[in-house]
């Protein structure tokens, strides 16, 4: 089993700019990658995915590897992120999720009552339930041939809980938030169960070859400061701490961890001290303000409005230059403030990536 836990013989890493920036070391240029860089904006992605059910694709290591590599064939990105979905964790707990065209992910039986928690697996063997993600990571790490580091990820507990109760996307999260007010104890039970699975899942990803980890608290914006403090932050902190201590115990590499809590600018100070090397930002905060709140010991990531990529290419270059001047080129990883949208022009994504490299090199020289 121990051999399975730590596949050896990975190709030597040629471009470690992303990892160095994450750890706060000097870099010649600012590294850049995009959330949802393996996605529907690429015609080759749509072609690969055409005949397959979405979650069947997630369960195929070969397809996940191919989809992860596609954007890297086009753009000089500084990191790859494994193609998967945050909802594989609720699936591991025994919930059924289907991808409905035009609607998105849909739970056939969302959690309605506290009693429904009993239907969930209370003990999850992540290798048995999510081994296909680990296989995809190992295969992709080899296939990358050391070109760039590979990022693994998971959804955070509150974001997953909200999907499990809402049964899909929601503009208000009213059903899930009503649990926080009506059933605080049961909510904590569910969040704890999710956190425990996420911890094992993230450690398993590193064992499989992931070189960095990102935790997506995509629905943080639906919580105010108090609810975030009670129902999101403790688990975000706990995940960082537990993952790191388990990596040490299992003699696995201590990889940089990124927390991305969308729309949670009210919590940046707390997130700066939550145990992550990198804090991801959406586009709703000024870079200087974020830097002031986060301090100098944590790397920042992101912040360009994804819709900026609809602008003409020259304009994208100007916006990138301004962003780099605001954040500074060091202790910074360029990214968007959210994922790429399906109708974006791949050439504009290329313009974004190239502008980050060109402008950051120029700023560093002068």
Active site residue 46: no
Q: Which token pair is 341?
A: 């949208």
CA 21 to CA 14: how far, in whole Å? Answer: 15
The pLDDT of residue 101 is: 86
Active site residue 40: yes
Query: Any idea which residue has 């959804």 for tokens?
Result: 155
Which of 5, 23, 74, 85 is flagged as catalytic? 85
pLDDT at 6 over 60: no
Which of 20, 36, 59, 291 is flagged as catalytic? 36
Active site residue 49: yes
Task: Tell me the average pLDDT of the chain.
Answer: 96
- Give φ, ψ of 174 to 5 degrees: -60, -40
Do 71 and 49 form a contact (C-beta atoms < 8 A)? no
- pLDDT tens digit sequence for 158-168: 999 999 999 99
Q: How far apart are the first and last CA of the chain?
A: 52
Closest CA to 256 of 218, 202, 220: 202
Active site residue 36: yes
The pTM score is 0.97
Do 283 and 304 form a contact (C-beta atoms < 8 A)? yes
- pLDDT tens digit sequence for 126-149: 999 999 999 999 999 999 999 999
What does the pLDDT average to over 97-125?
96
pLDDT band at 332, cuts 50/70/90? Answer: very high
**Signed CA dihedral, 27, 213, 10, 81: sign only:** negative
Do 300 and 290 form a contact (C-beta atoms < 8 A)? yes
Closest CA to 5 of 204, 161, 201, 146: 204
**Residue of higher predicted confidence among 210 and 2:** 210
CA 250 to CA 297: how far, in whole Å? Answer: 27
CA 253 to CA 242: how far, in whole Å? Answer: 14
Query: Any idea which residue has 């195929």 for tokens?
Result: 60
Which of 5, 23, 40, 192 is flagged as catalytic? 40
Which of 20, 78, 141, 163 is flagged as catalytic? 163
Domains (ranges, CATH) in the chain? 27-365 (3.20.20.210)
- pLDDT tens digit sequence for 52-69: 899 999 999 999 999 999
């Amino acid at each position: 089993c121990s051999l399975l836990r730590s596949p050896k013989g990975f190709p030597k890493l040629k471009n470690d700019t992303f990892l160095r920036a994450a750890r706060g070391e000097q870099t010649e240029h600012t590294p850049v990658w995009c959330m949802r860089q393996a996605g529907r904006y690429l015609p080759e992605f749509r072609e690969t995915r055409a005949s397959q059910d979405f979650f069947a694709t997630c369960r195929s290591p070969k397809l996940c590897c191919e989809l992860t590599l596609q954007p890297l064939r086009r753009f000089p990105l500084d990191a790859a992120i494994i193609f998967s979905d945050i909802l594989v964790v609720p699936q591991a707990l025994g919930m059924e999720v289907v991808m409905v065209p035009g609607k998105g992910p849909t739970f056939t039986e969302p959690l309605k009552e506290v009693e429904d928690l009993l239907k969930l697996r209370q003990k999850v063997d992540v290798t048995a339930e999510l081994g296909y993600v680990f296989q995809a990571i190992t295969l992709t790490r080899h296939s990358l041939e050391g070109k760039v580091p590979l990022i693994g990820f998971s959804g955070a507990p509150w974001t997953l809980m909200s999907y499990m109760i809402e049964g899909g996307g929601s503009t208000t999260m009213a059903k899930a938030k009503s649990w926080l007010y009506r059933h605080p104890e049961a909510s904590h039970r569910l969040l704890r169960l999710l956190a425990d699975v996420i911890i094992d899942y993230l450690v398993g990803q590193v064992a499989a070859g992931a070189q960095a980890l990102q935790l997506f608290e995509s629905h943080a914006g639906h919580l105010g400061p108090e609810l975030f403090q009670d129902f999101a932050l403790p688990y975000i902190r706990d995940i960082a701490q537990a993952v790191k201590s388990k990596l040490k115990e299992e003699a696995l590499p201590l990889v940089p961890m990124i927390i991305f809590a969308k729309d949670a600018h009210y919590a940046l100070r707390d997130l700066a001290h939550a145990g992550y090397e990198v804090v991801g930002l959406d586009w709703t905060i000024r870079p200087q303000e974020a830097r002031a709140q986060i301090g100098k010991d944590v790397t920042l990531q992101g912040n360009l409005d994804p819709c900026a990529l609809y602008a003409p290419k020259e304009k994208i270059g100007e916006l990138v230059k301004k962003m780099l001047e605001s954040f500074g080129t060091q202790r910074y990883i360029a990214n968007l403030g959210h994922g790429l949208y399906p109708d974006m022009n791949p050439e504009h994504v290329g313009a974004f990536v190239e502008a980050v490299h060109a402008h950051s090199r120029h700023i560093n020289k002068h």
